[in-house]
């Protein structure tokens, strides 16, 4: 029985071979996403934090519009006088 020679790259990848393939891809993607997110935050922090007060002011009318939607204020005829 002949054994194939194992390269250094194959032996290093053998450490990760215990994980299922989709999980290994997810871990690699998560690592790259974290690194990219870190650098994006470092480069654009001033722009994002500068827009924060405006986003809070914009959130006020939007919350008012969308949160009063389910209160049943669709008509003014809801308060009818009682009949005796």
The confidence score (pLDDT) of residue 31 equals 96
Which pLDDT does position 42 carry in this prediction?
A: 95
- pLDDT at residue 68, rounded to an integer: 78
Assigned token pair, 57: 């002011």
Computed from CA positions of residues 66, 70, 74, 78, in that sequence, does the dihedral angle turn out positive or negative?
A: negative
* Residue 8 in domain: no
> In the prediction, which pLDDT does 24 show?
87
Domain-embedded: residue 4: no
pLDDT at residue 11, as a whole number? 56
Those residues of the chain that have pLDDT short of 50 are none
Question: Does residue 82 form part of some domain?
Answer: no
Segments forming the whole domain that contains residue 50: 18-68
Dist. CA 24–CA 17, nearest whole Å: 9
28 within domain boundaries: yes
Q: Indicate the number of domains in the chain.
A: 1
Q: Does residue 83 belong to any structural domain of this protein? A: no
Tell whether 26 is covered by a domain. Answer: yes
pLDDT at residue 17, as a whole number = 62
What confidence score (pLDDT) does residue 23 get? 86
């Amino acid at each position: 029985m002949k054994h194939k020679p194992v390269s250094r790259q194959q032996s290093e990848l053998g450490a990760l071979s215990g994980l299922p393939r989709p999980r290994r891809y997810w871990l690699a993607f998560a690592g790259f996403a974290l690194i990219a997110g870190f650098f994006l935050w470092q480069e654009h922090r001033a722009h994002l934090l500068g827009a924060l007060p405006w986003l809070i002011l914009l959130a006020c009318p939007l919350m008012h519009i969308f949160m009063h939607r389910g209160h049943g204020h669709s008509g003014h005829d809801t308060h009818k006088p009682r009949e005796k």
